[in-house]
């Protein structure tokens, strides 16, 4: 299969890098790092083994890229309005676009931009950071869960997962709604709280008061998922996410990194949309609504 990576940052660079390292046909779209990676390659420092990829296929425009069988979109959702112009050169009739992005409601809006394109959700459970031009630091985890949104071709979905697994990626298939809401159980409390409390995830867990807040927010997400009829998201899962975070290395959320670097925060899909969707099913999320309001205030004052 031929892969395209749109957004060669911490997540796209890591998963695309693993595919290229395994000899897959991978094509990377870069922006500010284009000239650096073209000359120096892509470097991944990983708990699972460091590697450098020289002479990889890099581009500064999708118009120069070939059509691909699988496209990973790993850029921030704040830039999704650009996808209608960016993606068409990469697509043939059967291309699968995997949106490795945070939040709920992402696929619905991208589908409206690109009717007929086969979409899947990609949920990355990983601690990884871009620490310099063409330089990715992978600290922990590294699992990618994929939920079909509009592909509908089970054989093709299985073939994609099998190919990525054979290349060394830790990939599994999950139900679409379950996947999105499960990721929200971690994302909604930790992303926003690291920003408003100006700390990392370990700092939130190590303090009894903020750990209690995190637990309460997680259970609010569980309640919203249940109200929306999503199965497989329960209190025991939330507690597993707490335990997973407790054993992670010191890690700042992606939203905290965006805020610290003056970038727009992904408030729409991480907060506004799930809160709105839950309300449509008669479930209110007061704690997370307050957190979202704080983030909107901080985002507007940067």
Residue 21 a catalytic site member: no
Sign, CA torsion 225/231/233/234: positive
Tell me the three state secondary structure of residue 183: helix
Q: Are 95 and 65 in contact (CB under 8 A)?
A: no
- Distance between CA 84 and CA 174 in Å, rounded? 27
d(CA 129, CA 131): 6
Catalytic residue among 21, 130, 182, 183: 183
Q: Would you say 141 and 127 are in contact if contact means Cβ atoms under 8 Å apart? A: yes
d(CA 170, CA 287): 34
Find the largest Cα–Cα distance for the chain.
55
Catalytic residues: 183
């Amino acid at each position: 299969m031929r892969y395209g990576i749109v957004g060669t940052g911490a997540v796209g660079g890591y998963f695309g890098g693993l595919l290229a390292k395994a000899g897959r046909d991978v094509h990377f779209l870069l922006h500010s790092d284009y000239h650096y990676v073209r000359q120096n390659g892509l470097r991944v420092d990983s708990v699972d083994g460091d590697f450098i990829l020289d002479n990889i296929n890099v581009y500064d425009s999708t118009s120069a890229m070939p059509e691909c069988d699988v496209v990973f979109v790993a850029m921030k959702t704040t830039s999704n309005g650009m996808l209608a112009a960016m993606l068409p050169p990469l697509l043939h009739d059967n291309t699968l676009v995997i949106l490795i992005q945070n939040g709920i409601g992402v696929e619905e809006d991208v589908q409206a931009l690109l009717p007929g394109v086969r979409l899947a959700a990609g949920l990355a459970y990983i601690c990884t950071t871009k620490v310099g031009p063409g330089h990715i630091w992978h600290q922990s985890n590294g699992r990618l869960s994929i939920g079909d949104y509009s592909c509908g071709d089970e054989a093709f979905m299985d073939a994609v997962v099998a190919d990525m697994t054979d290349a060394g990626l830790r990939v599994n298939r999950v139900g679409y709604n379950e996947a999105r809401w499960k990721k929200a159980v971690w994302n909604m409390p930790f992303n926003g709280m690291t920003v408003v409390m100006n700390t990392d995830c370990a700092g939130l867990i190590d303090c009894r008061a903020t750990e209690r807040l995190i637990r309460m927010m997680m259970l609010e997400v569980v309640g919203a998922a249940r109200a929306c009829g999503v199965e497989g998201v329960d209190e025991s899962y939330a507690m597993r996410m707490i335990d997973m975070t407790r054993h992670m290395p010191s890690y700042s959320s992606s939203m905290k990194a965006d805020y610290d670097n003056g970038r727009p925060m992904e408030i729409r899909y991480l907060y506004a949309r799930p809160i709105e969707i839950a309300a449509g099913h008669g479930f209110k999320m007061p704690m997370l609504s307050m957190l979202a309001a704080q983030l909107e205030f901080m985002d507007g004052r940067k």
